[in-house]
Amino acid sequence: NAGVTQTPKFRILKIGQSMTLQCTQDMNHNYMYWYRQDPGMGLKLIYYSVGAGITDKGEVPNGYNVSRSTTEDFPLRLELAAPSQTSVYFCASSYHGPRGNSPLHFGNGTRLTVT
Amino acid sequence: QKEVEQNSGPLSVPEGAIASLNCTYSDRGSQSFFWYRQYSGKSPELIMFIYSNGDKEDGRFTAQLNKASQYVSLLIRDSQPSDSATYLCAVNEGTSYDKVIFGPGTSLSVIP
Compare all CA atoms of chain A with the CA of B50 and give the residue at the minimum distance: A101
Q: Tell me the shortest Cα–Cα distance from B53 to chain A, in angstroms.
A: 15
Chain-centre distance of CA B99, in angstroms?
17
Decide: A49 and A91 in contact? Cβ < 8 Å: no
Mean pLDDT for the stretch of residues A25-41: 94
pLDDT tens across A57-78, in order?
999 999 999 999 999 999 999 9
Please report the sign of the dihedral spanned by the C-alpha atoms of residue B64, residue B67, residue B68, residue B70. positive
Q: Indicate whether A112 pLDDT > 90.
A: yes
pLDDT (0 to 100) of residue A40: 84
pLDDT of residue A68: 97
Residues linked to residue A4 through DSSP beta bridges, in sequence order: A25
Specify whether the CB–CB gap between B91 and B6 falls below 8 A. Answer: no
Residues of chain B with pLDDT under 70: 1
pLDDT band at A101 (very low <50, low <70, confident <90, very high): confident
- CA B105 to each of CA A36, A50, A105, B14, B55: distance values in angstroms, whole numbers, following the listed order: 14, 26, 18, 20, 21
The answer to whether the Cβ–Cβ distance between B43 and A59 falls below 8 Å is no
The predicted pLDDT at position B110 comes to 98
Torsion, Cα B42 B43 B47 B48, to 10 degrees, reads: 170
Query: What local confidence, expressed as pLDDT, does residue B2 receive?
Result: 75
Of residues B94, B104, B88, B74, the one with CA closest to residue B26: B94
Which CA distances in Å does B15 have to A96, B37, B93? 37, 18, 36
Q: What pLDDT does A99 receive?
A: 79
**Residues facing residue A96 across a β-bridge:** none
Q: How far apart are CA B44 and CA A107, in angstroms?
A: 9
Closest CA relative to residue B97, chosen from B36, B29, B8: B29
Residue A97 has pLDDT above 90, yes or no: no
The minimal CB distance from A43 to the residues B1, B45, B88 is found for B88
Q: Sort out which chain B residues have CB atoms less than 8 A from A107's CB and list them.
A: 43
